[in-house]
Structure 1
Amino acid sequence: MYIKLGTEPGGIVILVVDNAVEGGYMAGEVARLLPGDDVRMYNYPNGDDDPSLEDVDGVVIGGSGAGVYDEPDQPWITRQKEFVEAVIDEEIPLLGICFGHQLVNEVLGGTVVNSGESRNYLVEASLAEIPLFEGVRNVVPVLHSDIVTEPGEGMEVVGTADYNRYFATRHHERPIWTVQYHPEFTPEIRPEYSDSWDESEYSFEASTATRTLENFSQCCQQRTSVSD
C-alpha cells in the first residue's frame, strides 16, 4: 500500500522504498524531508507485491536492518533486486541510501561484505562536487557495518571515507546515485536510536546531509522538465 504524503496535479512523484523489516523511522524521515508534490512510501519486506512505477519520477531505496547477502532468508530482497533492475532499465532517477547503496551496486555486479565493525556516528567524508552534494558538508551520519568493496558496472566513486573507498557512487550514464550515509538521520530522531548511536568528535551542527534529499528531488524535477 502507498502512503501519499502530498499531492499536486502535474507535480513530480517520488517513491520511497521502506526496507525496515521490523519497523523503524528512517524511511518515514526520508519521505518527510523529501521536497515533492507527491511522495509515496512502500514497505518491501512486508509487502505482497512490487510497487508500480507508473507516473513515478524518482525512486529512493532506503536502509534496512537486513544485509544484501541475507537473500535466502529474506526473499523480498530477490524481488527488490528485480525492481531495481526495472527502475534502471526505465532510466528513472534512483537514489540508494545505506542498504540501498549496497543493493544497487550489487545489482550492477558489485560486491558487498560485512566489515566486522558497526559504525553508528558522525564521520567525515570526501564528497565530489556534483549536484547531488551541493551544499552538503563533509560531516555525515552513518549506521552500518556492511560496505561496498567493489562498485557495480558503470558506477564511479563520488565519495570516500577513511574506512571505505566506495562511500558514494554514481552511474556514468544513467541517473543513479548511491550514498552509504543516512541523509535523513537528524537530531530529531536520534533519541529513537539512543541504544545504538555513539557520539564522535563531530557535531550535527557541522552536518547538512539532509540537503542530499533536496538535491535529489531537484534532479528528478530537472529530468522531468527536460523530458516534457
Structure 2
Amino acid sequence: MILVLDDEVRPEYRYLGPEIERLTPESDYHVYAEDRDHPPLEEYDGVVISGSTASVYEEGYPWFETQMDLVRTCRDRGLPLLGVCFGHQLINAALGGEVVEDRRRSTFVEMTTVESSDPVLEGVEPIVPVLHSDLVIEPGSGMEVIAETEYNEYFCTRHAEAPIWTVQFHPEFTERVRDEPSDWSDGEHSFDECNATAVLENFEACCPQ
C-alpha cells in the first residue's frame, strides 16, 4: 500500500493529489495539509508527497517541519519515498537543500536524463508537464541529479543510498485535468508525446510488496 500525502493548502486547487491516488491503485490518500493523523508508516510500502501552491520557504505552515521529519524518517528506515513538484522541493529542503522563487511555468518542458539507469525514470519520455514557480537550486545531502532542463540543473533527484526520488514535473497531470489550471498551455508539445504517468508505475514497482 502506498501512502499519498496531499500537500495542497487551497482546497479549490486540490485536484492533483487525487489523481496520484487514481493512478496508484493500491494507495491510501490523506490531505496532509489539513490532517497529519495518518496510520503509522510501518503499514505502508512507500510514500508519495504531492505538489502544492505553497512554497517551502513560506512562513505560516508549521506542518512543513513535521513533514520534513517524516522525510528524514523515511530516509533512515529505507522506506521508498517519491516527491512530486512541491514534494521534490520539500524533500530536498528537508535534507539541507535550497529552494528559491523563480517564475511560473505551466506547460510542457523537455528534460534531459542524466542517469539513464534510474528505475523511476525508466521509459519516461523527455516531454513532461510542469506547474511550478519555485526551483531547487541546491540539492539536499545525499541527493543526486537524475534529470535536468535548460532552466534547472536539479530538475529530478534521487538519494545515493536511500530509496528516495523527486521530480519537479507532475506525472499525474494528464488530459483528464488539463482544464483545471487556468494558465495551462501545451506550447510546442502535446500529451501524445508524454507518458509521465509511468513514473508512478515505476515507483510502485520499487516498493517492496
TM-score if structure 1 supplies the norm length?
0.87
CA distance in structure 2 between the partners assigned to 1:48 and 1:161 by the alignment: 34
Equivalent residue for 2:159, pick from 164, 167, 171 = 171
Give 5+ residue unaligned stretches, structure 2: none
Q: Secondary structure at the match of 2:2?
A: strand
Structure 1 runs of 4+ off > 6 angstroms? none
Q: Secondary structure at the match of 1:188?
A: helix
Partner of 1:4: none
Identity within the alignment, %: 49
2:148 is aligned with 1:148: no
Equivalent residue for 1:119, pick from 105, 116, 120 = 105
Partner of 1:210: 197
Instruction: Give a deviation string over 1:39-77, Cα, whole Å, max 9, x none.
Output: 10111111154552122110001100100011x311121
Equivalent residue for 1:34, pick from 17, 24, 30 = 24
How far the C-alpha of 1:81 sits from its partner, in A, is: 1.1
Equivalent residue for 2:45, pick from 44, 57, 66 = 57
Distance change >3 Å, CA 15–CA 189, structure 1 → 2: same
Q: Secondary structure at the match of 1:147?
A: strand
CA distance in structure 2 between the partners assigned to 1:19 and 1:30 by the alignment: 12
Q: How many residue pairs align between the two structures? A: 205
Backbone CA RMSD of aligned residues = 1.2
TM-score if structure 2 supplies the norm length?
0.94
1:50 touches 1:79 (CA, 8 Å); kept in 2? no
Partner of 1:84: 71
CA distance in structure 2 between the partners assigned to 1:46 and 1:93 by the alignment: 23
Equivalent residue for 1:187, pick from 175, 192, 196 = 175
Paired residue type of 1:29: E
Paired residue type of 1:155: M
Partner of 1:18: 6
Structure whose CA Rg is larger? 1
Give 5+ residue unaligned stretches, structure 1: 1-12
